[in-house]
Amino acid sequence: MAQQREQAADDAMMTRIGQVVMLAHAGDREEARDRFLGLWAEIGEYGDPLHRCTLAHYMADTQDDPDDELAWDLRALSAADSRTRGGAAAHEGSLALRSLYPKLHLSLAADYVKLGRPGAARSHLARARAGLGALGDDGHGQGVRAELARLEQRVAALPEDGDEGGGRPGGEPLGPPRRGF
């Protein structure tokens, strides 16, 4: 019974996140940001990784500043990584997150292109391509594959240099940025 209540609460949070995503897609980015921040506070830093990953991924798309977009996309990746590192107990949830990795890395690659860091973009494009096997042959999978091909073409035309250091391969800093969220 307690497990059913927990699952219903999880489903309710995903529904609420989805409602804010629809608001953002309708063009009200500022209201979506405010609502996402409220949900982020509710989920908490150590809340369900799938919730944190999903929310951070979509929150990134509502940002006006490319650095803020990158920060939220890094939070999404960090949340996904926290679930997949959890061993057997996290296995069920990690299956859902594994299919998100190509899109998460694709989003990071696009962020790095906006920031003029083609080396970091290439690194994330390679990671996105490596994760394509986790995608189905459905509309989502086909869309991610097409988006990857377009961004790979765009990045191929960029100069090889231009990245400014970083912590990990790909140039991103160690860990997600922490700016009061």
The interaxial angle of helices 66-84 and 91-98, nearest 10 deg, is 140
Percent of the chain with pLDDT over 90: 67
Q: Among 96, 129, 155, where does a domain finish?
A: 96
Listed as ranges, residues in the chain with pLDDT below 70 are 1-10, 84-95, 161-181
Do 94 and 83 contact (CB within 8 A), yes or no?
Answer: yes
Residues 90 and 53 reside in one and the same domain: yes
pTM: 0.81
Task: Please report whether residue 178 resides in a domain.
Answer: no
Q: How many domains does the chain have?
A: 2
Give the distance, in angstroms, between the CA of residue 41 and the centroid of all CA atoms in the same chain. Answer: 18
Residues 87 and 106 reside in one and the same domain: no
Give the pLDDT of residue 91: 46
Give the pLDDT of residue 6: 53
Residues 48 and 108 reside in one and the same domain: no
Q: CA 152 to CA 109: how far, in whole Å?
A: 9
Residues 131 and 148 reside in one and the same domain: yes
Q: Among 96, 125, 145, where does a domain finish?
A: 96
Residues 80 and 114 reside in one and the same domain: no
Domain that holds residue 83: 1-96
One-letter amino acid at 47 equals G
